[in-house]
Structures are given as C-alpha cells and as structure tokens.
Chains A and B, each alone.
Chain A
Amino acid sequence: MAKEILQIKDLRVLFPIRSGFWNRITDYVRAVDGINFSIEEGETYGLIGESGSGKSTTGKAIVGVQKATSGQIIYKGLDVTQARNRKKLGYNKDVQMIFQDSMSSLNPRKRIEDIIAEPIRNFEDLTTDEERQRVQELLDIVGMPSDSIYKFPHEFSGGQRQRIGVARAVATNPKLIVADEPTSALDLSVQAQVLNFMKHIQQEYNISYLFISHDLGVVKHMSENIAIMHRGRLVEVGTKDEIYKHPMHIYTKRLLSAIPKVDVEHRDENKRRREEVEAEFQHDQKKWYDKDGRVFPLQQLSPTHWVALPKKEVQAQLKEEK
C-alpha cells in the first residue's frame, strides 16, 4: 500500500450562531462535523458533495485558511492544525490550493510573472534571473506562451487563467494540492485541457490532489478514491468502482441517478430509476438519518469501502444483494 501523506482525524469546523440581547452563542452551524479520511502519496482523492455540504470548508481547513474547531490533520506525524507544527514542517509550502474562480483568485493589478513568482518569493531565495527562469518553466508546464509573463490576468481567457492558477500552485513543488472545483466555471473543451494538464503534472511530480467537486463525471475521471459528503459528514467512502458500481447509501444512489447521462436510448428508464430512488429517499428518512437528522457513523464493509448506516441496515442490504 502506498504511503499516506495526510490523515484527517475527526475534523470539526463549527460556526457559532449568535442571537439574543447579549449576542450570546446559542447554537452552531456544523459545517464539518467529525470526518475521517486519509490521502495517499501521488493519488487523487475525490471529495463530492452538493452546495452547503461542507466540502469547501474541509478543503480550507486542510490548507489552513479556515481554523479547525477540533480534530487533527496529521502530516509527517505531526498535527498541522497548530501553527507551530506547520512552520516546522514547511507545511504551507508543501500544500497549495487551486481555486474555482480564476478571475477573483488572481490579483488583477499584478503581472503574470509576479503572480506566479509570489509563492517562490515567499519560500525560496532566488535571484531575479533564476526566478524568471523558474516562472518560464512553470508556464511551459501548463502550455502557456513565454511572453505571457508581461501580461495581466484580464488578457487571458478563462481556461488560460485557470492554467496560470495551476502553475502558481505547483510553483513551490508541493506534495499536496487542494483543488476546489477547479473546472466548474469552464467550458467542456477547456475543462478537458485543464484536467489533462493536472493529470500530467501529477504524474511528473508525484503530487497528491484533494479534488473537491460536485461533478461526479469529472471526479470519476480524476480520482481513485472517493468520499461523498452530506450535511457536514461523510456518507460513503470507497474506491471509484465501489462508489459507482455498488453504492450502498441512498444519498449516493440519489446523486448517481441524478447525473444527466448521454444515453438517449434509455432516458425514460433512467428517469424512472431516478424517481424510484427519490421516492425511497423521501419515504424513509428515519432509515438513513438518526433522530437529529444527522448522518450515521461510518461502518466498514470491506478494507476500502465504508458507509454511514446502522449495522443492521447494512446487513439487510448485503442480504438483498445476494
């Protein structure tokens, strides 16, 4: 088995709700409510969820932009939720991020050279010439012409800007890149371009990705292991095949049946299946969630497959399959 690069243990991010005359904390929004998973070296880990499921908050907590309320993120044996350990390990250099909206994540008043060189300047001590050479190399990697270093972000198309974002993320030779919906603002053909570049870079530099997305097609194309997130908790964890071929939790089934398929022949059939799953989901909420509406703790089915269901429900489902 490959080496684990990052372990997330019982991570929780809560946002307080204040109300009343004294503005006291009355409740919490449980954006991330106790999740566990680990990312292996050189793999792409897919994190799927709908809006509001807490997937972006998880990504932010891993990069360190969002402070975790409790829980641990273990990197090289140390807990990096503490700033002291982050500094000691050079964590901020080793973990980078690619954002969804390339227009608002690139400074409009800086030239591409300065944008890409910024992480290099933060972590490395290079002369001006060395730095420029490094920037040129990075632009080469993502297939951008060399004269783009003098241009500003607005002079590029959406796909090109996202490639600049990728170049900036790999500038410090990171071990892990958190990609938060990197292609959801892009057209199909451009999306293909960016995804291909991300794959090539991964193979060349042995980078791990945490690929956060709501698009199940894209995640399947990119990742080996997948976690499905819902209401701040994980509902199902497994390899690509386990999730797509043998989904156990109704929420996973519901997501899978809702993807529009390029299959004109069977579209009525698909629609019928979708309606069945939806009816099952609506009908038996008690079966899938505990009395507070939370997702159950994960149960292990196989060495890689976990599902958030009570024990007897899991057994019943396994029987049904046989």
Chain B
Amino acid sequence: MDRQKDVLLDIQHLHTGYRLGGKFYDAADDINLTLKKDEILAIVGESGCGKSTIAASIIGLYDHKNTKVTGDILYNELNLVGLNENLFDKIRGNNIGMIFQDPLSSLNPLMRVGDQVAETLYYHTDMNEEQRHARVIELFNQVGMPKPEETYAMYPHELSGGLRQRVVIAIAIACKPEIIIADEPTTALDVTIQAQILDLLEDIQRQSHSGIILITHDLGVVAETADEVAVMYAGQIVEKADVKTIFEHPLHPYTRSLLNSMPQADDEDAADLHVIQGTVPSLKNMPRTGDRFAARIPWIPASAHEAEPVMHEVEPNHFVRCTCYKEFHFKNEEGVQA
C-alpha cells in the first residue's frame, strides 16, 4: 500500500504511566498517532496534558523504574517500546533527532559548541576528525549561523538564546534523521527569534523530507507551521485533523474553548476572554471512566456524553472524542441557541 509506505512512526495504544505511591497512573492514555514523511505533526495541549510524555516514550528517555510503557511504537518494523538499550543508542540521535525547550540546559556548558555537534557524528558515523569538522561547518551554515568557523570554538554561554537553539537544531539534524521531535522548541525565545527558528525547521523539513513532531502549547505556532494537529486534554487525544480543519471547523468543546480563550493581535473587541471553568485534574485524581472534559462543561447534560468516549471519524481524517460535541454550545450563547 502506498499510504503504508510513507508512515515513519506508527503509535498504537500507547499507555505511559508514572508510579505515584506504589501505583501506576497513565499520563498518556491510549494514544494512537501516525507520523508520515514530509509532515509536521503538532501535538498541542496545556501543561500536564501528557504531550511531553509521548515524546519521552518515543525516544525512550524516561525513568525505567518508575515508568510503565505499554502499547506499540513502530518504527521500520522495530518496536521502540521496551527496545534493547544498545539498539536504542544507535537509533537515538541517528534516526530520531531531538530538540528541547531550553537550549542552555540541553547543551554542555564546558564543551565548545562545535565539538558538541561533532560528538553526535563521532558516535553515529565513520567520519574522521577533519570530515567531522567540515560537516559541522556545513551544518552551521545550514542552520543559518553567522560566522560558523568562529562559532565552532565558542561555549554555549557566549551565544544568544536564538543561536543556542540553532546549535541544538544542528545536533538534531547532524545525522539526517528521518524523524525530528521538537519539544517546545521556541517557548524560551523572543517572538522574532521564534519566527526565525520555526522558518528554519520548515526549511529543514522541506529539504530532508523528514517527519517532525512539534510539541507546543502555542496555538499560533501550530497554525503557522503544522500540517496535522492532535489536541490533547488530560492524557487523551480529544481531536485530530489537518491544521485547516482544526482552526476553521473545530468540533470538540475543548478545542473550541481553547481557541476562544486566546487574546489575538488582530481581534477588535476588548470583551472578556473565554474562561474554561474549573481546573485540569491532577494525575492521581484523573477520572478514568467517562468523558474527562465533562466536569469543565457542566451545563452540557450528562446524556450528551458517552459512557466510554471513543474517537469518531466525523469527516475523512477528522477525529473527535465523545459525542458531546453535537450538543455543545458556549454558556453565554445559551439564550441565542434557544
């Protein structure tokens, strides 16, 4: 099948639980996602919704004692769940690149930045020292680093935040990975720098035809860069569609509320922002049955929710969890609706 060929990463029924007081609680609950070639898949949600947990599960960077991962993460007929550490070392950094939020804490402060990029090449390729140096310069050029030769010998603290993030990106793409996981890559940066870094990510993706998983809480970033979007709430994916559908015809109450609570630079009226009632339940107190978002929209009758909400394909490639979206309306619209 043609469709099957382009799939880089196939996540099926992924459960990632953390041990809290002797019991495991699922922070990512039954996640099904596929990442295709030439695609930027955005996972968006608020803090604590489990989006970074998914990233950690894919690249196997979690505390093996206190984390339980079940399900399948299929990459090239290889299941990344419970994969042998030695084998994983070969994949991590080579086939899957990673970009983290805070570039200062993901770089070694005692090592020249050029050497840090070369280190990845040292572990994953047979290049000799000269070739590695040349490749690092090439990478620095690719990520738009001014004066690559001089930057090679600098330490992370000598660089600005935007340049540091460029170094991290250079490390991530050094071995031309098929998959890049970017966990909040621009959250610590200024808007102008953020725009540059996002454009850079898009360029890289276009050149290398890799798939990028972009994890973020910023809906603006999603609208500007993503192709496919998965919206997460309380450990579950609640809506999944292409980027146009998510922003133009969102269906799930959470997606709609989130879009409504966003102050925008080009909105005119200065009315009150929409507030989602209540708070996200903590991992321990998360309801394990029923619709998890039901408590935040109490004016919707209980009969609207499914007992065991599942994903429904409402249109081709547009999935929504639970049936409550059919009866959902915003509270202040109540009079209008009637």
Q: What residues of chain A have their CB less than 8 Å away from a CB belonging to chain B?
A: 50-51, 157, 159, 187-193, 195-196, 199, 214, 216-218, 220-222, 244, 254-265, 267, 270-271, 274-275, 278
Contacts and interface: CB of A to CB of B under 8 A. Distances in A.
Given A157-B279, A271-B199, A260 B194 contact: yes
Contacts of A187: 46-47, 217
A268 B8 CA distance: 26
Contacts of B267: 220-221
A264 B265 contact: no
What is the interface residue range for chain B against chain A?
A: 35 or more
Classify the interface of chain A: helix, strand, loop or mixed. helix
A260 B60 CA distance: 31
Interface stretch (B108-116, B134-142, B242-250): B242-250
Given A189-B275, A192-B275, A217-B263, A267 B192 contact: no
B264 interface: yes
Given A192-B273, A262-B219, A217 B46 contact: no
B191 A261 contact: no
Contacts of B247: 262-264
B273 A264 contact: no
B243 A264 contact: yes
Contacts of B218: 260
A214 B191 contact: yes
A282 B248 CA distance: 35
Contact of A50 (B191, B220, B259, B264): B191
A187 B265 CA distance: 18
Given A188-B261, A260-B223, 19 more contacts: A50-B191, A51-B161, A188-B217, A188-B258, A189-B257, A189-B276, A195-B263, A196-B272, A218-B263, A220-B264, A259-B220, A260-B221, A261-B266, A262-B259, A262-B264, A263-B223, A264-B247, A265-B244, A274-B199
Interface string B201-233: 000000000000000011111011000000000
B311 interface: no
B302 interface: no
Contacts of A157: 279
Nearest to B272: A196
Which of B243, B265, B267 gathers most chain A CB within 10 Å?
B265
Contact of B190 (A50, A217, A221, A270): A50
B20 interface: no
Contacts of B264: 217, 220-221, 261-262
B270 interface: yes
A220 B267 CA distance: 9
A220 B265 contact: yes
Contact of B261 (A192, A260, A265): A192
Contact of B224 (A159, A192, A217, A260): A260
A217 B265 contact: yes
Given A157-B279, A196-B275, A255-B191, A188 B262 contact: yes
A168 B257 CA distance: 29
B159 interface: no
B265 A267 contact: no
A260 B220 contact: yes
Given A261-B266, A271-B199, A221 B273 contact: yes
